Amino acid sequence: MTSFWSKLQKPFAVMAPMADVTDPAWRALVAKQGRPAVTWTEFVSADGLWHLNKASTGVPQTQGAPAARPIPPFASDTPVSANPLMRDLAFTEAERPIVAQFFTAKPPMMAYAAKLAEELGFDGVDINMGCPDRAIEKQGAGAAMVKTPAAAQAVIRAAQEASSLPVSVKTRIGWNAESIDEWIPALLETKPTALTVHLRTRKELSLVPAHWEVMPRIVALRDQLAPETRVIGNGDVQSLDEAREKCAEYGCDGVMIGRGIFGNPWVFAGRASEDTPLPEKLAALVELAHAFEALRPAKNFAILKKHIKAFVTGFDGAAEFRATLMAAENASELEDICRASYN
């Protein structure tokens, strides 16, 4: 089946999933200021979705794989208070194409999540096989999947069989050491529609420069084993120009930009952070804060403060002004401080 992936013009630049950063409020802002070629949700626990939706909709617990049972009527009927994870899957038309990212080590749970994503109207399903969070790795999910290629394949196939959505994978180049020659072919054997590779090992976290020099090997494996799979490189890219350069130099089809979006929702419009005047940045920050309160009511306002740090930087008096803004306890207070200082 043709999907949006096959229509993307290469090279393309996509926005990375980042928990507590690329939430619905942030994504709404970016969709307005300069949309990426593809948007990801933050990662969501497939197991959490299943258990909380089941509890809230009273689907009886029976034997057998959950994927074989009817899907609970979660899409519109589940009270979000009963399953806050459903809020992570909220999106608007302006964000399309949008891919829902899930993690789990259990194929039936991934099948459930993929069906849910289809029912919710997502354009694709992405499987996280790169997260180094210990709580996630303990479940055998995230980056831990690098150590269990057969289990990883089973999770990918479960998603592929459960829905008609294109299934992509996001991973790293290895666990303690780079293991591209074993790990990447195992993934490509399942023919994912796209494969994003964060060019560091799990051990390296994000502490060393990304190893872009290994990308041509990944592209060669793709050419040989799964020519239809889009390969997306990820690590340290800050701008559209840099993304184009990386694709030209290393042969990947696209680039995923993560931390390069901090303080710069204009990245995908091709604008550098320093080219945006402070009042425009503050207006964006205030808009983000109000959207955060509206779309993420159960989340602590403190989560938003990382954006204050990222937006308010690089000018005389930035540190003092940041400190004042950090004292705000809600969006209105933040707005009042901005208005008083820069009107």
State the nearest-atom distance from the C-beta of 302 to ligand FMN, in Å. Answer: 14
> What is the smallest separation between the CB atom of 70 and ligand FMN, expressed in angstroms?
29
Nearer to ligand FMN, 235 or 251 (CB): 235
| Binding interface with ligand FMN (CB under 6 A) | 16-19, 21, 42-43, 101, 128, 130-131, 170, 198, 206, 234-237, 257-260
Written as six digits, the tokens of 243 are: 């993304």
**CA-wise closest residue to 37 among 197, 187, 230, 209:** 230
Residue of this chain nearest to ligand FMN (CB atom): 258
Buried b (16+ CB within 10 A) or exposed e, 159-186: bbebbebbbbbbbbbbbeebbbeebbeb
Selecting among 131, 247, 252, 338, the annotated active-site residue is 131
**Least distance in Å: CB of 279 to ligand FMN?**
27
Instruction: Give yes or no: 131 in active site.
Output: yes
User: Considering the complex, what minimum distance in angstroms separates the CB of residue 98 from ligand FMN?
Assistant: 14
Interhelix angle for 24-33 vs 278-295, to 10°?
Answer: 140
CA distance 238 to 275: 14
* Amino acid (1-letter code) at residue 70: P
Pick the closer one to ligand FMN by CB: 59 or 269.
Answer: 269
End-to-end CA distance of the chain: 53
Q: In the complex with ligand FMN, which residue's Cβ is closer, 149 or 258?
A: 258
Judged by beta carbon, residue 43 or residue 321, the one nearer ligand FMN is 43
CB atoms within 10 A of CB 272: 13
Would you please indicate which residues are annotated as catalytic (active-site) residues?
131
